Amino acid sequence: DIQMTQSPSTLSASVGDRVTITCRASQSISSWLAWYQQKPGKAPKLLIYKASSLESGVPSRFSGSGSGTEFTLTISSLQPDDYATFYCQQYNSYPWTFGQGTKVEIK
């Protein structure tokens, strides 16, 4: 199975900060990576697919980059609504796998 490792596990940031979350795959997954945002008690919400494609309706402050084994999710200017847990997920090959999550907290 492909292992997905996110860093950091927790991140404290202020409104307006630029935030970067990293996701590493244990083997190449080309660009078949998605990023999701999850708030407490809610289902995950798709932000980015195919590593850098912004899902319709998602604010442009979210962006994704990377290919192969290293990927990043960047929030250019953190907003109050962005405090949540973020997950990466590979869909290059079965079984699909998720990262362990990165919780973005208020500083």
Partner 1 sequence: QVTLRESGPALVKSTQTLTLTCTFSGFSLSTSGMCVTWVRQPPGKALEWLALIEWDDDKYYSTSLKTRLTISKDTSKNQVVLTMTNLDPVDTATYYCARKEGYGYALDYWGQGTLVTVSS
Return the beta strands (E) in 8-78 as ranges. 10-13, 19-25, 33-38, 45-49, 53-54, 62-67, 70-75
Q: Which stretch binds partner 1 (CB under 8 A): 17-25, 61-69, 70-78, 97-105?
A: 97-105
DSSP 57: T
- Stretch of 18-26, 65-73, 75-83, 94-102 contacting partner 1, by CB under 8 A: 94-102
60 binding partner 1? (CB under 8 A): no
Residue 37 three-state SS: strand
Helix H, strand E, coil C: the string for 63-75 is: EEEEECCEEEEEE
Q: Give the bridge partners for 82, in sequence order.
A: none
Residues numbered 62 to 81 that lie near partner 1 (CB under 8 A) are: none
Q: Which stretch binds partner 1 (CB under 8 A): 14-22, 30-38, 62-70, 71-79?
A: 30-38
Q: Using CB under 8 A, which of 22, 45, 52, 92 touches partner 1?
A: 45
- What residue ranges bind partner 1 (CB under 8 A)? 1, 34, 36, 38, 42-46, 49-50, 55, 87, 89, 91, 94-101
